[in-house]
Structure 1
Amino acid sequence: MKTSTFFAGLAVGSVAAAVTVLYSTPQSGSEMRSSVATASADMMAKLKDVKGRVNELKDSVSDFASENVQPAIEGVKDSVGGWRTADPGSRNRLESEIHEIQSAIEELERSVAAQQNN
């Protein structure tokens, strides 16, 4: 194949492709640039809106935490402090009941293990 024939075919193919693209494009260049600019402006507005909503959410969470979480923490601290200062009889009784519960759980675990071995 001659080089001139190859380049002639390449030129004809390129021209055919360019004509096909020009006639199949739904918008002209200026219309396309205009629609891209409009879409870009819309995306920037939406991004700004999302950023504002994220800041509102952050402020809302911060307000919720300061209004609700801190009082709950203080309440738990007060309860634990009250339990520590409870009269020794109540405290000893609670510790005894906890020990009995732990013993019952250990006995139950041994019983289940023995049944599984059989």
Structure 2
Amino acid sequence: MKTSTFVLGLLAGSVTAAITVLYSTPQTGSELRTSVKHASSDIKYKLSDVKGKFAELKSSIGHLAKETKERLPETVEDLKDTLQHWQQSTEANKKRLEKEISSIQQSIAELEQSLLSHQK
């Protein structure tokens, strides 16, 4: 949903609610005009507040986008360096595990040979 559509719907709903409340209460003409003036100024104030909040949001999003553009390449490089360091630090363990697996496989093969020769 687009932000402008949401804001437009919010404004339309607020105006409709305000008008409905104003016309559903029993008031004299002067009281009604006073109520409409107060409601109008209240809506203007709220609209101005919403406008200010959207300006702040837009500014924050712009700042976030700028920070992301600046820091993303640095973060990617840091991740690459960390991954490379991890691969180097685990290389010795990887080779040790490969030797142990090979030794276990050889032992299993010897045991199988031994079992076959005992069965004959």
Q: TM-score, normalised by structure 1?
A: 0.47
Q: TM-score, normalised by structure 2?
A: 0.46
Structure with larger RCO (C-alpha < 8 A, sep 6+): 2
Larger radius of gyration: 1
